[in-house]
Structure 1
């Protein structure tokens, strides 16, 4: 049975407001609640388009609804509708001036590797122990732009659903499955399962002392790319599990790239090789 939306107005920092406010800065409370906050036209539209469950829609109680907001509220009949005082909405939106028109409270999906679809052209990304949520969001955005099938975050890491990660993804979080797992063991068990099922995934890490430059290696095969921690790079465990370690060639004085930039570089090269292979009908690299 469809849940009927209930209109509620919040004009003070009551218990309900405090619960949502806690979702912004407290990872454990996000996990327990199983939800997080989303703002912005594109991110909210993508969440709806890709079938994510919107639990609540919060809008400004003193501002006329735009056509977009009105249609969204009308279309999401299963979501609770809440109007909120603009100064409180601005706090949830983490803005000092104009509050967002609408904030969505969205349900987190399960951290299940089966959310990531694996086919003959599989391309996945592992981010090993990231410390910056903004880097997670940026890598998800690049993964979306260059056709990756999913992102896996391993180890003790920043949270995929941290507001900084959600904002940095500019909505791509809802288009590209992103899954958190405790360690490399769960990932490799999943990789072996895919290999046994007929998809020969190649696990490729990046390292300044790698065996080849990224443009000299065939990235047209089903590939899982490994991106290391922003400070220490790939863990020893991941380096040992990788089938190949590759270099990103650099000619300037910098010896390494920011993790998100490194991921974007190798994702672009993979996309370039695959596009070239599709056009020529041949292999994309050496």
Structure 2
């Protein structure tokens, strides 16, 4: 039986004031770093955290505590079901607004343990597709890239040193729960990443607007290899005339890791120099460039489709 009737933290006066303050402090990076905790706001994000906990045992639980309005729980049957057997505290809209990073936290806030993992644990799983954020600074972009990687079925996402804190409340909201779906590595040294990823055969692909490789061409070549391998005649497929597969070009179907650079400056010289291939997304309109989140989505889906074909 589900019980949504429980004592409510109705105001920020004592004795609840300290608890509200403790939760609110997690909007700041220093408190998150010191305590190893972060805020998950909104029903979808909290539900994904609870779903992850259902797959874990004992001390591996992610969710520490949940605060929600009774109304938000009642109107969301899935959330109500996931909260069955999970201790949570009812709170007023005023209290939730004081706890959360947003004025309107959509009725539910969870305090969670950080979920990042080590680079070695990712590489031990023999990944085929990884997204790497190189000094990406905007939390919204970081969340978008992580969500795109999740949607494309990537095996992990890595943030190099100098990137935004993925546990920033805006970044967490932007992932819409994807933060709890795939392994995330944070604060990774770039040179160590390149060396260790190369040792297990991952090819580095730099998303670079000035790159010599054209993403459309790479997709065409990947399709051509597939069709030839399955005995489909060229006349039956819509391939460009005089298409020739170049063995020196990257193969999107091969295990790889994509590098996505800083919003303002892109990938720096060290990052480009360490990349085996520089790949440009063709622009057919008048836009000068693509937002890094959009570019990441296009590139990751190109690789994902080639790998799953």
Question: TM-score of the superposition, structure 1-length normalised?
Answer: 0.82
Matches within 5 A, 1:89-238: 89-96=96-103, 100-116=106-122, 122-193=128-199, 195=200, 200-217=201-218, 218-238=251-271
Matched residues in 1 for 2:196 and 2:126: separation? 16
Correspondence for 2:243: none
Matched residues in 2 for 1:74 and 1:250: separation? 50
Correspondence for 2:34: 32
Correspondence for 1:281: none
Contact 1:126 1:225 in 2 (8 A): yes
The counterpart of 1:15, out of the listed 15, 18, 22, is 18
Q: Cα deviation per residue 1:73-127 (whole Å; 9 max; x = unaligned)?
A: 3332xx5x33333201123344546x63321111102441244366566100111
Correspondence for 1:284: none
Matched residues in 2 for 1:64 and 1:249: separation? 44
The counterpart of 2:45, out of the listed 19, 43, 46, is 43
Matched residues in 1 for 2:127 and 2:217: separation? 19
> 1:75 aligns to what SS in structure 2?
coil
Distance 1:96 1:44, change over 3 A: closer
Distance 1:167 1:209, change over 3 A: same
- Matched length: 260
Aligned Cα root-mean-square deviation (Å): 2.5
Which moves more between the two structures, 43-52 or 66-75?
66-75
Contact 2:68 2:91 in 1 (8 A): yes
Distance 1:44 1:65, change over 3 A: closer
Matched residues in 2 for 1:168 and 1:17: separation? 24
Contact 1:160 1:178 in 2 (8 A): no
Q: Unmatched 5+ residue regions in structure 1?
A: 1-6, 279-286
The counterpart of 1:71, out of the listed 81, 84, 93, is 81
Question: TM-score of the superposition, structure 2-length normalised?
Answer: 0.76
Contact 1:93 1:100 in 2 (8 A): no
Q: Unmatched 5+ residue regions in structure 2?
A: 1-6, 54-60, 219-250
Q: Who wins on radius of gyration, i.e. which is larger?
A: 2
